[in-house]
Structure 1
Amino acid sequence: MVLAIDIGNTNVVIGCFQEKEILFVERVSTNQNATPLELAVSIKTILEIYRIQTEEIEGSIISSVVPSINNSMRKAIEKIASCPVLVVGPGIRTGLQIAIDNPAQLGSDRVADAVAALHEYEPPIVIIDMGTATTFSVIDARRRHIGGVIAPGVGISLNALTEKTAQLPKISFEPPKKCIGSNTVACMKSGILYGAAGCIDGLLDRITEELGETPTYLATGGLSESIIPHCRHKILTDPLLLLKGLQLIYEKNMGKETEK
């Protein structure tokens, strides 16, 4: 079994896979002040819930956009399992061609997304990852990551709206019954959900125009299942895309590469 961990700005996603099967996926809040012991307790507790013994963990791979946690997470894994720990970054083989101004700037989460997308879909592909930020990663017909877009995430937009106004309440992500709201909460839900969906549709139109051909649209991330159904483009969703990418990268670096 291999432990896969994606450290994001808001959540840490913890998954475990055995061969091609993902056994579980869980989320805990990202805490930059957490000690290795605290992280180890969280991971071990999740493994115990799924009745997985630490002795069964043969390896681990980490994707992170919060570098300050990386060392603590590595130590946490080493506390509970005697296994190699890979961190996606310089020196790790991914097989991805990155054709941007500074390839080192591409986040490891977007690298993992792209690796998984190219394994399962024919390019060109546009990957929409809806987390703390909403990112668009563009893979051209030559299988190269040529760039993308970074926009404020839905949660950030909602928090800014409620924190910077005196009379607007916090709301859930439940969809409104119609676009034209007849009360404050309905108006806010419409603005957040349909506004995010409209932003995605508009950016996809512009990206597609620049590519000169229609790509496969693929969405992932914690909020994708709440927003994507309201988009007008046909967008596939895969909430496990990043973990699949980590699995492929782990196999590539451990000599267990899976053929497409």
Structure 2
Amino acid sequence: MILVLDVGNTNITLGAYEGKKLINYWRMNTDRGISSDEFGMFVLDLLRYENIKVSDIEAVVIASVVPPIMYSLEHAFKKYFKLKPIVVGPGIKTGINIKYDNPKEVGSDRIVNAVAACTIYGGPVIIVDFGTATTFCAISSKNEYLGGVICPGIKIAAEALFQKTAKLPRIEIAKPDTVIGKNTVASMQSGMVYGYVGKVDYIVRRMKKEMNENNVKVVATGGMARLIASESETIDEINGLITLEGLRIIYEMNKQN
């Protein structure tokens, strides 16, 4: 059994795999100040609830975009599981040829998503990840990471409206019945939801044109994926656990036989 961790700016998603089967997964807030003991005990409690023993865990694989938390996470697994985690980064086999000007600038989560998308769906593929930031990644039919787009996430945009204006309220992100809002909250919700639908569809169409390939599949993931996909004309698939699956695949690529 292996543990996989997707460490994002807002949440940490932790999954337990038995072979190719995802046994369960959990989410916690990303607390940059968490200690290794706090995190270690948290993970132990989760596994204990599922009747999973520490001795059952043979490896830990982590993709992180939050460097300040990594010492605590790595130390927790070394102390409580006697395991040195595999951290996705330089030197880790992925099977993806990164065409970025500086490959080191590409977030590990985006590479992990690319690995999963190529394995599950095959290239060419565009991955739209609705996380703290909304990212678009283009992968060719030759498993080349061509590049992508980075935008503020929906929640960041909504919070910015609240923080930077005198009269606009903090709102729940929800789809209103009509684009034309009849009150301030509905108008803001329309801007967030339908505005992002328009943004996604426009960017995806431009990316497809620049990729110049046939049958480009578009896969959405992240917390807001279902909300936006319900109105989008370009999203083909929703896979909320694509990052965890990518981490499992990367482990299979890199494990010592």
The aligned residue for residue 235 of structure 1 is: 236
Cα pair 2:7 2:66 within 8 Å, conserved? yes
SS in 1 for 2:230: helix
SS in 2 for 1:230: coil
The aligned residue for residue 252 of structure 1 is: 253
SS in 1 for 2:203: helix
Counterpart amino acid of residue 89 in structure 2:
G
The aligned residue for residue 223 of structure 1 is: 224
SS in 1 for 2:229: helix
Task: Indicate whether 1:43 and 2:60 are aligned.
Answer: no
Please list the CA deviations of residues 118-143 of structure 1 after superposition, one character each: whole Å capped at 9, or x if unmatched. Answer: 10112110011110101111011222
Cα pair 1:219 1:228 within 8 Å, conserved? yes
TM-score, normalising length: structure 1: 0.94
Pairwise CA distance, 1:87: 0.4
Pairwise CA distance, 1:167: 2.0
Pairwise CA distance, 1:163: 1.2
Pairwise CA distance, 1:100: 1.4
Which range moved further: 140-149 or 48-57? 48-57
The aligned residue for residue 129 of structure 1 is: 129
The whole-number CA distance in structure 2 between the counterparts of 1:130 and 1:13 is: 14
Structure 1: 4+ residue segments shifted above 4 A: none
The whole-number CA distance in structure 2 between the counterparts of 1:166 and 1:42 is: 40
The whole-number CA distance in structure 1 between the counterparts of 2:110 and 2:190 is: 29
The whole-number CA distance in structure 1 between the counterparts of 2:110 and 2:246 is: 9
Counterpart amino acid of residue 77 in structure 1:
F
RMSD: 1.3
Could you tell me which runs of 5 or more consecutive residues in structure 2 were left unpaired when the two chains were aligned.
none
The whole-number CA distance in structure 1 between the counterparts of 2:135 and 2:145 is: 13
The whole-number CA distance in structure 2 between the counterparts of 1:100 and 1:65 is: 17
The aligned residue for residue 145 of structure 2 is: 145
Please list the CA deviations of residues 84-106 of structure 1 after superposition, one character each: whole Å capped at 9, or x if unmatched. Answer: 41000112111111111111111
Counterpart amino acid of residue 7 in structure 1:
V
TM-score, normalising length: structure 2: 0.95
Q: CA 1:255–1:118 in 2, change beyond 3 Å: closer, same or farther?
A: farther
| 1:15-34 mapped onto 2 (5 Å cutoff) | 15-34=15-34
Pairwise CA distance, 1:220: 0.8
The whole-number CA distance in structure 2 between the counterparts of 1:141 and 1:94 is: 15
Counterpart amino acid of residue 247 in structure 1:
R
The aligned residue for residue 173 of structure 1 is: 173
Counterpart amino acid of residue 189 in structure 1:
Q
| 1:88-99 mapped onto 2 (5 Å cutoff) | 88-99=88-99
The whole-number CA distance in structure 1 between the counterparts of 2:94 and 2:167 is: 48
Counterpart amino acid of residue 102 in structure 2:
N
The aligned residue for residue 64 of structure 2 is: 64
Which range moved further: 205-214 or 188-197? 205-214
Could you tell me which runs of 5 or more consecutive residues in structure 1 were left unpaired when the two chains were aligned.
none
Q: CA 1:251–1:84 in 2, change beyond 3 Å: closer, same or farther?
A: farther
Cα pair 1:58 1:84 within 8 Å, conserved? no
